[in-house]
Chains A and B, each alone.
Chain A
């Protein structure tokens, strides 16, 4: 079990690197395959709640390290207060919610119905991106919904979901190598 979790963490770090090589898919609204969230989600379906929390924490921490924009100290007499940014670490909470969602159908995953979990990764990514968009809108005080944004989120979820069987296959292989029992 421990060697499997360590391997999962290794896979998580590897996904940070792989993410750098995946360009946006311009013809489909600039959609992306989000490898790091995908590893967290798929990994969450294969481990206990405690290990899922570790994955969510590390995944969110790494994601925010790359995506949160820090502002320099600004003169308050000139600049508006920078209240319009999300706090470093918010992704950890979102990842934990997604992890709990995946854990909800873990019994079915253990019965070998991996395709249900694969479908749920698409739903979870959509909810994650949508929640992220809502949070960003909320802190910035304007709620914008347009077709372009919905299409971009939808296509990103779809492409990420299509990649999930590959990640599940890798996890099964790693579990075999580590002697970890995924299925009942």
Chain B
């Protein structure tokens, strides 16, 4: 090995040691600076992503339409399309109504935010929302859906966008309780293949817990990361292990169709 390369390798190793020994606070500062620097690009990137998504949908839609036209049902299909558009608008209208009513009814101080990007990373389950530190976003603020279900927590606030770690991510942990029982545990996300429905797992239950399908699961407020009594989902299946019991949970939130979310800025509920 040439002396210059050896020296470069030494410097590289020293740099590596420096990075691996950075404190959590230092890493947070680095990430915050990086995220603030690229957040204007994220906003524009989100628009590009939406454009690409709409374009692909349009192409798929056009191909479906062509097949239907070939079946000599032109006129009927036109009405079908109109009806479908009306249904879509009706759905959107209902969603906005429910979002508005949620903001009016909730006991928390919340900020409504639009989801601008889903799953920006290859592995992690995150979304990006159009509110940043300037609008009161902070690390670990709790995020809810318009039906009141738990979505996740703010993991990285930027200047005008923020990243939200969903409860379906493997790194997420939410203290939870099962309604009508004394069972408490931790909700963790589960790895899913692309296109599969998202799953949650309630761990650290007692192994002889008596849990039935359909029982409601709520946050229990332990650890003070999430306020108590927020719906998380319903029990689908319970498995008793040698030490603990675990239950599969169907989330209360439809994570594939999240459009508007609410960030709780004051968890006291005053």
A binding-site residues for B, Cβ under 8 Å = 16-17, 20-24, 26-27, 29-30, 32, 34, 48-50, 53-54, 56-57, 61-62, 65-72, 74-75, 78-80, 82, 84-85, 87-89, 92-93, 96, 129, 132-133, 136, 140, 142, 144, 146-149, 151-152, 156
Contacts and interface: CB of A to CB of B under 8 A. Distances in A.
A68 B31 contact: yes
B5 interface: yes
Contacts of B34: 62, 65-66
B89 to A, nearest CB: 23
Interface stretch (B47-55, B73-81, B107-115, B258-266): B47-55
Contacts of B173: 74, 79-80, 82
A93 B170 contact: no
A71 B9 CA distance: 32
A88 B191 contact: no
Interface stretch (B129-137, B208-216, B220-228, B230-238): B220-228
B190 to A, nearest CB: 9
Contacts of B121: 66-67
B19 A129 contact: no
Given A69-B171, A89-B19, 14 more contacts: A17-B41, A20-B45, A24-B119, A34-B122, A54-B12, A57-B16, A70-B155, A74-B173, A75-B222, A75-B223, A80-B203, A82-B173, A84-B170, A87-B20
B155 to A, nearest CB: 6
Contact of B16 (A89, A147, A148, A156): A89
A83 to B, nearest CB: 11
B96 interface: no
Given A69-B171, A71-B171, A20 B191 contact: no
A72 B41 contact: no
Given A65-B31, A136-B123, A21 B45 contact: yes
A30 to B, nearest CB: 5
B193 interface: yes
B5 A49 contact: yes
Contacts of A23: 45, 48-49, 52-53
B30 A65 contact: yes
Contacts of A79: 173, 175, 186, 223
B101 interface: no
Nearest to A87: B20
Chain A CB within 10 A, most for which of B30, B35, B56 = B30
Contacts of B41: 17, 20-21
Contacts of A140: 170
Contacts of B87: none
Nearest to B33: A65
A151 B140 CA distance: 33
B19 A27 contact: no
Contacts of B56: 26-27
A16 B38 CA distance: 8
- 7 closest pairs, A vs B, by CB? A148-B193, A50-B8, A20-B45, A89-B19, A23-B49, A78-B223, A65-B34
Given A23-B52, A26-B53, A129-B122, A151 B194 contact: yes
Contacts of B70: none
Contact of A88 (B22, B35, B44, B165): B22
Contacts of B119: 24, 30
A17 B121 CA distance: 14
A70 B126 CA distance: 13
Given A65-B30, A67-B121, A146 B171 contact: no
Given A20-B45, A27-B56, A53-B9, A148 B196 contact: yes
